[in-house]
Structure 1
Amino acid sequence: MDDNDHVQRSERHKTIIRAVDSGPRRIQELAELTGASTITIRRDLAELAEKGTLRRTHGGAETALMRGAEFPFGLRQSEAPATKSALAEAAAQLVRPGQSVLIDNGTTALAVAHELRGVGITALALSLHAAAALASKPGNEVIVPGGTVDADDLSFVGIDAVDVVRSMRFDIAFLGACSADPASGLTVSKWADAKIKRAAMDSSTRTVLVATAEKFTRTSAHLFGTFADLDTIITTVDISPAVLYEVRQAGAAVITV
């Protein structure tokens, strides 16, 4: 499979997930929506069902995602790499050698981890992906919390991870969020993830949310904080002026790229 085929497949999978999220869909509907053959759609549905992102039905599929849940890690990783790289570069400018830094799970946090290779920090990585990136160049002391690992994004989940986060003190924590709607606060789709993020905020001198603009138009099930809990938000220039107003009213600084 060449790179172009991979991108087309990823985009088609995201289109299918969005479609079934609004209600059950027939195979023929999905074929017409994506321009793919029904044979290709059947194969796509089998792959997505195996990942747990939808459920097969007789002749079609329906959603299996929780409210506000994100796409599978593999799909998100292929999305907007240049944007995530720009966000990560801005985030890395806030870090100095010798500091203690927490790196969240997720694809944007992974981009931050890549930018912080060999900087000379003590880093707690909340996913195996981030840990590998941080340790890929000599210079950092990289720590992982241990405990259960999520099968999709290789993040650490459970009370063991929360305890390790609470036992440390960080100069800066880089966090992500499934959703950051001003009215609903900072939310994620998984209860365990919310607990870890809350612990990270409580253990950090400075908390930085790194997120693309569309995150500020969504809501998810589990609250872990509000804009007032953040010191800085790093986002893209297309963020809504209304959201910018709410962020600044809450006392957080904003960096746009």
Structure 2
Amino acid sequence: MNYQLRKQLILQTVEEKGSVEVKDLAELLQTSEITVRRDLATLSEQGLLYRTHGGAMKMSLVQAPTSFANKSTSRMAEKDYICQLASQLIQEGDVLFLDCGSTVSRLCQFIKHKHIKVITNSLPIVYELMGTEVSVNLIGGELDAERQAIHGTIALEHIARYQANKAFLGIDGISLARGLSAASEKEASIATTLAQHAQQVILLCDASKLEKEAYLQFASFDMLDVLITDASADKDLLVKYEQKGLKIIC
């Protein structure tokens, strides 16, 4: 069966069922799971469906704009590597803060089987963890449709009611000169509040974000405990980050 026919059947099945697993698509299409995963990655990059770890979901269920879908699949291998390392820090019974970063959302696939609690402002994370062993607490407040996340004063008040063992944060940029930076004030305020109410703050950041400066500088290295990045990160730079007090996992 050629790609165009597989594409038509995949999109039709996702539209009818809402979500579908790779193994079910492989059986339907009479092809390998590897081929199905490759097709799903292509369709996700085109914004035609939302890629999950075990399959795919139609876009209307998550209301994720194409830009978010593309961002979540950009540097996917590096993000999955980072999140696999991050999952090893999570213990049964932990309470976690997860922000709305595209890298953090990739952590879901590695924690679905754990008996933990997740507090998040990310709608894609909520949908990814529904029906799993994870207990999910969705932060309340104002919906940011572009980011598919909850922000605002009520969201900050919600976070302040809880205490987490660990906060996993994404970032738009981190540099020796300016510390942590974000694309907007609302994302910066969420990250800061999550950090204030967590025992340990862990930054998930692929190498492309290192020594990158975004719109708003909002915190120093002191806000963080651990940086997890991928193997392509400059080793000399990571030594300098360690000298700032960060534990590096790479």
**Under a length normalisation based on structure 1, what TM-score does the superposition of the two structures give?**
0.71
Q: How well do the aligned residues superpose, as a CA RMSD in angstroms?
A: 2.1
Q: Is the 8 A contact 2:171 2:205 kept in 1?
A: yes
Aligned to 1:143, what secondary structure does the other structure show? strand
Equivalent residue for 1:148, pick from 99, 124, 142:
142
Say whether 1:209 aligns with 2:240: no
Structure 1 residues 180 and 167, CA, compared in 2 at 3 Å: closer, same or farther?
A: same
Equivalent residue for 1:91, pick from 86, 96, 116:
86
Deviations 1:104-150, CA, capped at 9 Å, x for gaps: 1121111112221131111101201111222241x222101111121
CA positional deviation for 1:9: 5.3
In the alignment, which residue of structure 1 is the partner of 2:120?
125
In the alignment, which residue of structure 2 is the partner of 1:163?
157
Q: Is the 8 A contact 1:182 1:216 kept in 2?
A: no
Q: Aligned partners of 2:149 and 2:123: how far apart in 1?
A: 6
Identity rate, percent? 22
Unaligned runs of 5+ in 2: 8-38, 48-64
Q: Aligned partners of 1:134 and 1:231: how far apart in 2?
A: 26
CA positional deviation for 1:8: 7.6
Larger mean CA deviation between 147-156 and 222-231 belongs to 222-231
Q: Is the 8 A contact 2:44 2:70 kept in 1?
A: no
In the alignment, which residue of structure 2 is the partner of 1:224?
218
Say whether 1:172 aligns with 2:175: no
Q: Aligned partners of 1:104 and 1:191: how far apart in 2?
A: 14
CA positional deviation for 1:207: 0.3
Find runs of 4+ consecutive structure 1 residues off by over 6 angstroms: none
Corresponding residue pairs, total:
196
**What amino acid sits opposite 2:105 in the alignment?**
L
Q: Aligned partners of 1:7 and 1:209: how far apart in 2?
A: 26
Aligned to 1:105, what secondary structure does the other structure show? coil
**What amino acid sits opposite 1:106 in the alignment?**
G
CA positional deviation for 1:6: 4.4
Aligned to 1:72, what secondary structure does the other structure show? helix
